[in-house]
Amino acid sequence: MRHRVEIVGGGPAGIAAAIWARRLDWEPAIYERGSSLGGQLNQVSLPITDLPGFPGIRAHELCQQLSIQLDKLHVPIFYGQEAMGYDRGYLHFAEGRCIASSAVVLAPGVRARRLAVPGADLVEDVSVSDLLAAKEPGPTAVIGGGDRAVEAACRLAERGIATLVIHRGHRLGAIPALQQRLAASGAEVLTESRVAAVEPWAGGWRIHVDCGRRRVVHSVHQVVVRIGMIPDLSARWQASLNTEADHVYLIGDAAQSAAYRSLVTAFADGMVAVKTLVSKPICRHKPIQDCSGMVEPGSNPTLR
Ligand SMILES: Cc1cc2nc3c(=O)[nH]c(=O)nc-3n(C[C@H](O)[C@H](O)[C@H](O)COP(=O)(O)OP(=O)(O)OC[C@H]3O[C@@H](n4cnc5c(N)ncnc54)[C@H](O)[C@@H]3O)c2cc1C
């Protein structure tokens, strides 16, 4: 009998795990909460320049190739399936549905870190493209100093929008090329400036910023928060990783520190996880009976 592996997340890491599972004669199935494959590749608009063998490939082209490869390998993919956690032999989905599983590769990627100051919960997570598409985008504050923050600020300032970058560090952390672009863009940069609170004001926002011993208030139309990415793991998944380490393997961006998050590490992680699984004896859990919608392993948990 072939061994099964349930793969959570249809981004590059999950896809690589599925390809390697097939190659090593296991039965993979991918569960993706969204409606398409590719994960963050769906947000990449510029050509990818650093994927060995494919210089300049477009992200949508790469997604297409990966999808064709999975099709050829007959890997089942179940969309609209958010896996909630793993517990004593069952992979759980929303509404109490679950499937029996003895091996899960978890590849959920990352999500934006939220600003933890009073009023920040009221600030919506906006994309720069949406802001640029607005009729009259007004002065905008970009909070953060890494690549994502600086790239966002460049795009706004280059379109003539008054842009203020607020960064708590002594200097920006973005790569030199982005910093040069920012310097030429006309954006204003505040370093050693810590946001203390955000409040709605006259249809826009007032941002309270601590600069040393002084507190300064800046009024803007929009706030863009880009203060880093964190693993997209709920408390329940974190608990599963602690208690079920023999059955759940975390891979891809969610397992890497910020400096190493990339397509090549995601692809490599998929391979390492599956080879690790293959080299282990499969541990079988005793079935439990508290799942309301239990279905066959490797099937769509919406089906009964
Ligand atoms: C704008 C941008 C540009 C980039 N440019 C490059 C580049 O040029 N070169 C490079 O190497 N890298 C680049 N990257 C990074 C690269 O895209 C990521 O490193 C890679 O996508 C990580 O793959 P992943 O599978 O770990 O995570 P992701 O791509 O984030 O995929 C995770 C998937 O898991 C799904 N998911 C999450 N939780 C669940 C759940 N509980 N149940 C079911 N499904 C779930 C998500 O919907 C998503 O589809 C870029 C990223 C961005 C955003």
Digit-coded pLDDT (tens) for 106-145: 999 999 999 999 999 999 988 898 899 988 889 999 999 9
Of the candidates 78, 79, 51, the one whose C-alpha atom is nearest the C-alpha of residue 65 is 51
Mean pLDDT over each residue of the chain, to the nearest integer:
92
Of the candidates 108, 98, 100, 13, the one whose C-alpha atom is nearest the C-alpha of residue 282 is 100
Which CATH superfamily includes the segment(s) 120-225? FAD/NAD(P)-binding domain (3.50.50.60)
Helix (H, G, I), strand (E, B) or coil at 137: coil
Q: Is the pLDDT of residue 179 over 60?
A: yes
- What's this model's pTM, rounded to 2 decimal places? 0.87
**Does the beta carbon of 85 sit less than 6 angstroms from any atom of ligand 1?**
no
Which one of 3.40.50.2020, 3.10.20.30, 3.40.630.10, 3.50.50.60 gives the CATH number of domain 4-112+229-295?
3.50.50.60
**Does the beta carbon of 111 sit less than 6 angstroms from any atom of ligand 1?**
no
Locate CATH 3.50.50.60 in the chain.
4-112+229-295, 120-225
Closest Cα to atom 53 of ligand 1: 40
Distance 250 CA to ligand 1 centre (A): 14
Closest Cα to atom 2 of ligand 1: 44
Report pLDDT for 288. Answer: 43
Ligand 1, from 40, 125, 265: best to mutate by most atoms within 8 Å of Cβ?
A: 40
Instruction: State the CB neighbour count (10 A cutoff) for residue 64.
Output: 13
Measured from the CA of 12, which atom of ligand 1 is nearest? 25
Per the listing, tokens 């400096």 go with 259
